[in-house]
Structure 1
Amino acid sequence: MGAQDTVDRADGRAADAEGVRERETRREQTHLDAVYRRLEEKIHEAEFLMDDAAKRGQVGTPGALAERDAQVFRAGIHLNRLNSEFEDFLFGRIDLLDGKTGERGPDGAYTSVEPADDAVRPDGGADIAETLHIGRLGVLDADYAPLVIDWRAPAAAPFYRATPVTPGRVVRRRVIRSKGRRVLGVEDDLLRPEIRATLDGEELPAVGDGALMAALGRARGHAMRDIVASIQAEQDEVIRAPAASVTEVEGGPGTGKTAVALHRAAYLLYRDRRRYAGGILVVSPTPLLVSYTEGVLPSLGEEGQVAIRALGSLVDGVEASAYDDQPVARVKGSARMVGVLRRAARGALELGEVPQRLRVVAFGSRVELGADELRAVRRQVLGGTAPVNLMRPRARRLLLDALWEKSGAARRHAHDPELAAEVRQGFDEDLDEETDFTDFLDAWWPELTPRRVLAALADEKRLARWARRMLRGGEVRLLARSLRRLGVDGTGPLSVHDVALLDELRQLLGPPAARPRRQEDDPLDQLTGLEEVTTAADRSGPRRRRPDVEEERRDYAHVIVDEAQDLTPLQWRMVGRRGRHATWTVVGDPAQSSWTDTDEAAAARAEALGGRPRRRFELTVNYRNPAEIAELADRVLALAMPGSTPPEAVRRTGLVPRFVAAVGADGADGADGADGEGNGEDLLGRTVRAEAERLLAEVDGTVGVVVAMGRRTQARQWLAGLGDRAVALGSLEAKGLEYDATVVVSPAEIAEGLSPREFTEGGPGAGGAGLRVLYVALTRATQRLTLVSGPRDLPDADGVPDLLRD
């Protein structure tokens, strides 16, 4: 056979393969068209329900209004879901052998996982008994046969769980790439290649061989995509794990922890919507990660039941906008602050001008309590354990007791207890109406707000008294200075750590006493006896709250904590209050922790989770980073956490990390001053900008420039005018995010400026945390990585910084 014959045969096979691909794509397009026709029918049904509900509302009776409202609410949700056309609405298919049982589930699919004993004939042939298409929502045809299986349904599990080692009934797994109503292509995995399977009398074809790798190579945008089309077995096991007690998930960079957490929220709602009607709270470390992930749940068919909140916005009415340096953050986040705040909550009663004498008129004569007597009453009140604001009624009662005793009336009526009780009641009622008494009580036991008490910590001398034997002198100075940005009443910018302090103070202070409010009569109430009728629109509108009282939901049915390794002890206490009766999913990676005292954080975490049983999972495969990038990051991991095992990268690109040194002849980088405000023309800035421009030309998606937290403003100036695809962010903001390409600027600065010799075991406590932050920065890229070194990195002739040399 000649060379030309070989080429011709190869061309023929390629043409045949292309023909099979086109034919299979057309078949999936035909099925997708049928799905959308059925969706349109369901949309018309939902619109009819909406119209019918509007007519019911014209009846005017309370019963009709309630029925109308419930119907509008249900139909509105249904219509909203049906009208949403997401990319990859239909994304998967599995072709299955005959199963051991013939039972059908509620989605119309057979429930059997294992093939029947006679599913494969002795000659190796088999018939495909069932084909299931997997999508974001379940769709049944008019005869209730499944057109699409919801990805969360038990019948869809083999799409994610089946492997060539344990294929179960799955012969072929197909990933369908679609956009809107158009099928773009298909990729197949044959999980039982030894079987000659037929479907409708034709041999089962296979198209392509890289469905997962194709999904991993897609360009990144600024929003997280769901992973329903590429969930792997170990991820699916976590997503579908029972919700009882606490599910703990550990995994290194790129293992899909955040995506798994969000998909788990959608799955739990699908499996037991009634149980989780109390809501699911997803806690993320930063607003950047919230904005990156918040679009995932709607695309999974879930919206409204899940709250995704950053730690800095976990308290309603409060939004963290300031940043604390690491030394300050370590003080504010420490569990020692609980004791400091407990003293502050009580000591704040002495703020301002506190009256030292109480004078009232009782029974026609003046009764007076002096400073010593008032101090004794205050000590007696504070002997209780109730929150400070809730002690106010006790303070009032003990003041009245002291005044009653001082008046001598108790002695005068001691012979007649019944008369004494009657006189005492009149005494209390008279004083409660005395302006002198009520004004004194307001000044002597004021209603305290968390913001006001937090602002009081800015007084260094006062804080030193409250923090005695709990904080060191240097820590007191750092804490007091950081809070001077607040006004006397606590107004001003707050950091994410301040929010946790506020939440702790709210617990210690308790809510202020409710002010009596005059209720105006509503003529409708008199006519119908109906106090309130609300509609779905009313309830979905902006929440109304008293402007002087901060309120938020504080009791969720399930709490998911993302990047849990970064929560400080005070933040664990804050999150724990929102999940007292909840089940939990806790997702994190100790190797990425930026908190220095991991033992202290572990104790606070254990307290927040309580005695609930634990179920632990580990994700071991790095789907984000190419092996070339992962290997470099693993060097830092070995320094930060000796003996730890990194996740295994599943792909290679041949693109090794690039090293660039931005060091002038005099060893300077040209940065302008210690405040990090550069003019955009210094050597480091020019180098970073040039690398960002080069990477923008090489990748289709985003480029992240990661700098030390103090350089964030400067880095944004370096990237000015490069467009939305280039993003500058601080090293602590990068957690959970990913970019097609990353520029990591000055690894030594990110690792707190310490040399490798200082990162040895027994070295400074901050060293390990700094290296873990650098490890995070090095693992954000899905394709390309550049490291730009300054003088502090001590780069060699090739630009490789001291920290990363072998």
Structure 2
Amino acid sequence: MSDAVRESEIAAEQAYLDRVYVRLDQLRVSAAEVEKAGYSLARVGNFGALVERDAMVYHAARRRRALESEHDGLVFGRLDLGPDGVSGADAAAVEPAVPDGEVRYIGRLGLRDESYDSLVVDWRAPAAAPFYRATPADRMGVVRRRSIRSTNEKVVSIEDDLLDPAGAPESMAVIGDGALLANLSRATGRGMKDIVATIQREQDDAIRSPASGVTVVRGGPGTGKTAVALHRAAYLLYADRNRYESGGVLVVGPSDVFVGYVSRVLPSLGEDTATLRSLGQLVEGVQATRHEPPEVAAVKGTLRMQRVLARAARAPVPDSPDRLRILYRGELLSLDKPALDDLRRTVLNLGVKRNAARAKAAGHVLDTLWRQSVELLPSSRQQHREEFAPDIAERPEFIQFMRGWWPVLRPAGVLGWLTDRRRLSRWANGVLSNREIATLSGSIRPDDPSVEDVALLDELHELLGDPPVRRRPPRDPFQVAEGVREVTTYADRMAAARARAVERPEDYRDYAHIIVDESQDVSPMQWRMIGRRGPHATWTIVGDPAQAAWADPAEAERAMDGAVGTRRRSGFTLTTNYRNSAEIFATAARVIRQAQPDIELPTAVRSSGVAPVERVVEDLEPAVREAAQALLDQVEGTVGVITPTGRRDEVAKWVDGLGPERLQTVGALDSKGMEYDGVLVVEPADIRAESATGFRTLYVALSRATQRLTTVGTRPY
């Protein structure tokens, strides 16, 4: 195809894009005017006008925000359909390229012109599905599929797929070698690219699968698992907004680095209501980024820890009083340690969580003391239980005893009890081996919890319950000072009431849908933690068993089953590696096949002709800096330096200042789910030797690059 034809086609698409942006500006102005007009309805003064104002302002403001959030890449696709694909309802008002056919433009947002004819079809709408799902074997009425790439409001390139050569008229131009491979060769930028314009059919099947039950997506490196997960969140919010926006969508990723990496994707898809959390952020008030060594993580992640923590949560408080003595009417009432232990067990056996049972515990102590008084005192000096209890309960010595014997417990405090080897050995007896006990006791740092500790803290919160809190009356948002209220309209008050009604607590635990990415690395204890956030949720679970860092997949599978329950499951497998060149993936595949010769791996669909660089050196630091600089010179986008977990900070200092905007240094575990244009893997042999599953971690590190891969180490891997 000549340059003149290409430029002509780009000019035609530019003319249409100009029309779209003119309409977008009109709609922005219109939405702002409707919002302003809504406020003026309050002047009418009757009840109906106020309600109408409230509705108008709410919907107009929401529409305005949606229109303002979409700009760059608003229109990214075009479908030229033949006569068998015509629907009419979503056709653009342009001359069809196929006789008796129609044209549909696909974008991030649905737009219509002044006559209510379609300008752009929202990518999530059913009419846009052929853009992702059509293949030469199942054309879905599509003759030509065009990918439109633009910067700001300017079309910079187009790429076509001709799905029905027989149905294409001779005058139809076909530009490029196909949208997907061209798009994959471009730089990724700092944040993860959304693949809304390049979703292929097997990915789209998973994105649009039924919302109910559990959707399980498996796929190797570069198959677009993460993009599928995020696009599924956007699709569900579009398809059933009332359900999923009110209940909430939670996306759980493996690390803070990963969450930051993907955080721009959902807003770029038109959605900003989903909650993104890493495994170290799921407990309110905790921001854990530190990872434990593999042998420690294995102990903290096993389901057996639940039994150890349950024993700790029921144990006596360390250094608490072991007896109570109160002088009452000349007689000494006392409870010794065995009696107090019996009372503690009796209260906890009632099924009440420890922090909620403080009043019950005090009541049982008072009952026991009252029965003693009945035995010790003559009937003439005895009190009824109703008189005895407040008399004793108000005494300073009883109050002080209860504070020490049954204090309000915090998860971090109870976790800290495990630092005492004797206590831990008692609670872990018959549950953990002596070696595991020794490993665990030296790894507890309550003031600096690791990512693996977060699940333990959440388990303890579940066992202990919330501390009792004094309920405060809701604050009046319009109160200026004591006895003075702001002048408000009815709609203002209704809007404030509605905001309070949908406000979620900080520790929200009733999401409507939960998406778990890199699920193969979620430990059994972490599955329990995630499961508590959505007891009634539907699920999307995305992962790759070949990348699993958890050594006991059967235990993790049982824990996942416990989290998601018996809901119906739908499974999808992604088989095509779109990220890596064939040369790069061959290097990663060689590592994983040494350990698992029969493993099924995805197929890399493009060849760059550039082989990975493998260097063995004596002086590591200058070699790493030199290799990082070379990658920055060779690629336009990002460069990731992936290191053994314990050497991340050290290596980061070596490459400091080389390319602060484009270069990122991460530990091997934090590289999960990441994507870079160029990757430098430092000491790959050490990454492989870090744990029993280190070969899988190295496989992950070697498969992060889209264009260039270099390894530098002091010995072969």
Fold-level similarity (TM above 0.5): yes
RMSD, aligned α-carbons: 3.1
CA contact (8 A) 1:404 1:410 kept: no
1:590 offset after TM fit, Å?
0.5
Aligned partner (choices 642, 661, 670) of residue 733 of structure 1: 670
- Which residue of structure 2 lines up, in the alignment, with residue 357 of structure 1? 324
CA distance in 1, matches of 2:169, 2:328: 100
CA distance in 1, matches of 2:99, 2:375: 99
1:705 aligns with 2:705: no
1:358 offset after TM fit, Å?
4.0
Question: Per the alignment, do residues 412 and 25 of structure 1 end up closer, same or farther by CA in structure 2, a change over 3 Å counting?
Answer: farther
1:252 aligns with 2:220: yes
CA distance in 2, matches of 1:146, 1:385: 60
- Which residue of structure 2 lines up, in the alignment, with residue 310 of structure 1? 278
Which structure carries more relative contact order (alpha carbon 8 Å, separation 6+)?
Answer: 2
1:25 aligns with 2:10: yes
SS of equivalent to 2:462: helix
- Which residue of structure 2 lines up, in the alignment, with residue 140 of structure 1? 112
CA contact (8 A) 1:355 1:440 kept: no
CA contact (8 A) 1:360 1:436 kept: no
Matches within 5 A, 1:357-506: 357-359=324-326, 361=328, 367-408=333-374, 423-483=384-444, 485-486=445-446, 492-506=447-461
1:630 aligns with 2:589: no
CA contact (8 A) 1:355 1:443 kept: no
Matches within 5 A, 1:299-698: 299-303=268-272, 305-347=273-315, 349-359=316-326, 361=328, 367-408=333-374, 423-483=384-444, 485-486=445-446, 492-515=447-470, 523=483, 533=493, 551-663=506-618, 683-698=619-634
1:714 aligns with 2:638: no
Spell out, residue by residue over 1:52-103, the C-alpha distance to the aligned partner (whole angstroms, 9 max, x if none).
3444567899987776555444333321221124431100000112348858
1:623 offset after TM fit, Å?
0.3
SS of equivalent to 1:197: coil
1:89 aligns with 2:74: yes
CA distance in 2, matches of 1:692, 1:372: 66
Tell me whether 384-393 or 423-432 shows the greater mean CA deviation: 423-432
1:537 offset after TM fit, Å?
12
CA contact (8 A) 1:85 1:180 kept: no
- Which residue of structure 2 lines up, in the alignment, with residue 746 of structure 1? 683
Code of the residue aligned with 1:243 in structure 2: it is A
SS of equivalent to 1:274: helix
CA distance in 1, matches of 2:639, 2:474: 58
CA distance in 1, matches of 2:526, 2:126: 36
1:294 aligns with 2:258: no
SS of equivalent to 1:350: coil
SS of equivalent to 1:93: strand
Spell out, residue by residue over 1:646-673, the C-alpha distance to the aligned partner (whole angstroms, 9 max, x if none).
100000011111111113xxxxxxxxxx
CA contact (8 A) 1:358 1:440 kept: no
Spell out, residue by residue over 1:487-533, the C-alpha distance to the aligned partner (whole angstroms, 9 max, x if none).
xxxxx2211111111000000000111236589997479x99x9x94
Code of the residue aligned with 1:650 in structure 2: it is V
CA distance in 1, matches of 2:52, 2:318: 54
Spell out, residue by residue over 1:147-199, the C-alpha distance to the aligned partner (whole angstroms, 9 max, x if none).
0000000000001111111112111111111112111122111111012438x
Question: Per the alignment, do residues 234 and 32 of structure 1 end up closer, same or farther by CA in structure 2, a change over 3 Å counting?
Answer: same
Question: Per the alignment, do residues 94 and 536 of structure 1 end up closer, same or farther by CA in structure 2, a change over 3 Å counting?
Answer: farther
CA distance in 2, matches of 1:661, 1:281: 44
Matches within 5 A, 1:155-166: 155-166=127-138
Tell me whether 551-560 or 81-90 shows the greater mean CA deviation: 81-90
SS of equivalent to 1:312: coil
CA contact (8 A) 1:219 1:740 kept: yes
CA distance in 2, matches of 1:581, 1:264: 18
SS of equivalent to 1:685: helix
CA contact (8 A) 2:639 2:679 kept: yes
Question: Per the alignment, do residues 379 and 597 of structure 1 end up closer, same or farther by CA in structure 2, a change over 3 Å counting?
Answer: same
CA distance in 2, matches of 1:716, 1:402: 63
Tell me whether 612-621 or 56-65 shows the greater mean CA deviation: 56-65
1:772 aligns with 2:708: no
CA distance in 1, matches of 2:206, 2:414: 43
Code of the residue aligned with 1:21 in structure 2: it is R
1:476 offset after TM fit, Å?
2.0
1:37 offset after TM fit, Å?
1.5
- Which residue of structure 1 lines up, in the alignment, with residue 479 of structure 2? none
CA contact (8 A) 2:310 2:463 kept: yes
Gaps in structure 1 of 5+ consecutive residues:
1-13, 111-124, 415-419, 487-491, 546-550, 664-682, 754-765, 794-800
CA contact (8 A) 1:638 1:644 kept: yes
Question: Per the alignment, do residues 519 and 354 of structure 1 end up closer, same or farther by CA in structure 2, a change over 3 Å counting?
Answer: farther
Question: Per the alignment, do residues 238 and 99 of structure 1 end up closer, same or farther by CA in structure 2, a change over 3 Å counting?
Answer: same
Question: Per the alignment, do residues 368 and 752 of structure 1 end up closer, same or farther by CA in structure 2, a change over 3 Å counting?
Answer: same
Question: Per the alignment, do residues 97 and 350 of structure 1 end up closer, same or farther by CA in structure 2, a change over 3 Å counting?
Answer: same
CA distance in 2, matches of 1:518, 1:732: 46
Code of the residue aligned with 1:298 in structure 2: it is P
Code of the residue aligned with 2:417 in structure 1: it is A
Code of the residue aligned with 1:48 in structure 2: it is E
Question: Per the alignment, do residues 507 and 481 of structure 1 end up closer, same or farther by CA in structure 2, a change over 3 Å counting?
Answer: same
Code of the residue aligned with 1:447 in structure 2: it is V
SS of equivalent to 1:579: coil
CA contact (8 A) 2:104 2:121 kept: yes
1:353 offset after TM fit, Å?
3.4
SS of equivalent to 2:187: coil
Code of the residue aligned with 1:195 in structure 2: it is G
How many residues align? The count is: 703
Question: Per the alignment, do residues 126 and 327 of structure 1 end up closer, same or farther by CA in structure 2, a change over 3 Å counting?
Answer: closer
Code of the residue aligned with 2:682 in structure 1: it is V
CA distance in 1, matches of 2:98, 2:48: 59
CA contact (8 A) 1:97 1:126 kept: yes
Question: Per the alignment, do residues 58 and 313 of structure 1 end up closer, same or farther by CA in structure 2, a change over 3 Å counting?
Answer: farther
CA distance in 2, matches of 1:365, 1:41: 88
- Which residue of structure 2 lines up, in the alignment, with residue 117 of structure 1? none
SS of equivalent to 2:360: helix
CA distance in 2, matches of 1:583, 1:516: 32
Code of the residue aligned with 1:283 in structure 2: it is V
1:214 aligns with 2:138: no
What fraction of aligned residue pairs are identical, expressed as a percent? 47
CA distance in 2, matches of 1:553, 1:516: 18
CA distance in 1, matches of 2:189, 2:211: 32
CA distance in 2, matches of 1:148, 1:299: 16
Gaps in structure 2 of 5+ consecutive residues:
477-481
CA distance in 2, matches of 1:503, 1:457: 15
CA distance in 2, matches of 1:640, 1:49: 64
Question: Per the alignment, do residues 319 and 520 of structure 1 end up closer, same or farther by CA in structure 2, a change over 3 Å counting?
Answer: closer
Question: Per the alignment, do residues 73 and 459 of structure 1 end up closer, same or farther by CA in structure 2, a change over 3 Å counting?
Answer: farther
Spell out, residue by residue over 1:325-382, the C-alpha distance to the aligned partner (whole angstroms, 9 max, x if none).
11111111111110111111122x42233251142647x9764434443232223223
Code of the residue aligned with 1:383 in structure 2: it is N
Question: Per the alignment, do residues 219 and 343 of structure 1 end up closer, same or farther by CA in structure 2, a change over 3 Å counting?
Answer: same
- Which residue of structure 1 lines up, in the alignment, with residue 22 of structure 2? 37
Code of the residue aligned with 1:25 in structure 2: it is I
CA distance in 2, matches of 1:161, 1:34: 27
Code of the residue aligned with 2:604 in structure 1: it is A
TM-score (norm 1): 0.82
1:396 offset after TM fit, Å?
2.2
